[in-house]
Every structure is written in C-alpha cells, then in structure tokens.
Amino acid sequence: MNIFDHIKNITTTKGPYLGDEGWNNWMVNRYLSMDQEYCGVVNYVQKNTWQMKGEYLYNLYKDLIPQQYKYLKYIKPTTKKDYKIEDIEAVQSYFEISKKEAKEYIDMIDKEELETIKQQINGIY
C-alpha cells in the first residue's frame, strides 16, 4: 500500500479506506492539489483538517472529489539557477538587501539594468 493507491481510491474506485499504511495527510493534500480543479477544495480542507485522522480525511475527500480518472502530475521545483557573485554583491549593496532577496531582484530586472547597477556600485558611470 502506498500513497498512489490511496489517491486512486479517492479519485476513481471510491472504495473503503485502505488503512494507515502509506497514508500521510500532508502528501495526500499535496498530490490532490496538483490538479487545478481540486486545488480550491484541498486548500479549504487542509486549513481545517490538518490534524484529522487519515480515515476521516479520506472519507471527506471521497465525498468531495468527483469519481473520475485524473492524471495528477507532480510539479517539481525549477532547476537551481547559478548567479554570479559580483552580480549578487552589486544588487545587495545597491538596494541594501539580503543575498536571497538580491537573487530574487536579479530574476526580476533586465540585463541592462543589472549592468547599470554594477557600474554605479563599482564607480563607473
């Protein structure tokens, strides 16, 4: 018994609860939220039932989610982006922010603006 058996049971077969083996409330919520149609339901349910027993949460989802096959594609995080240290330090110094925020800023600004910031920080106008 694994998490996928439970998800299949919720969405397609609608059978009885399969037991606690392989069940994890957080993972069930996560996988069900991968479908846009279920996302609103999962968001509401997880706010109010995070401590609920697995069997009760299963029965709730079984009643709320329509019986149909859905491919729930697991959304993976994007690949890790490499940042130049001089870019991070320039943006960090220019805006007076943390390294993490500097990386977010670098993603948002265009290359010309980044070059202008680097030139201003380095004293080249």
Q: Name the residue among 5, 24, 7 with its Cα closest to residue 72.
A: 7
Q: Is the pTM of this model over 0.75?
A: no
pLDDT at residue 124 in the model? 63
- Predicted confidence (pLDDT) per residue in 10-23, tens digit: 999 999 999 999 99
- Predicted confidence (pLDDT) per residue in 52-100, tens digit: 899 999 999 999 999 998 888 877 777 778 899 999 999 999 999 999 9
pLDDT at residue 54 in the model? 92
pLDDT higher than threshold 60 for residue 125: no
State how far the alpha carbon of 40 is from the alpha carbons of 29, 44, 47, 72, 108, in Å: 11, 6, 11, 15, 29
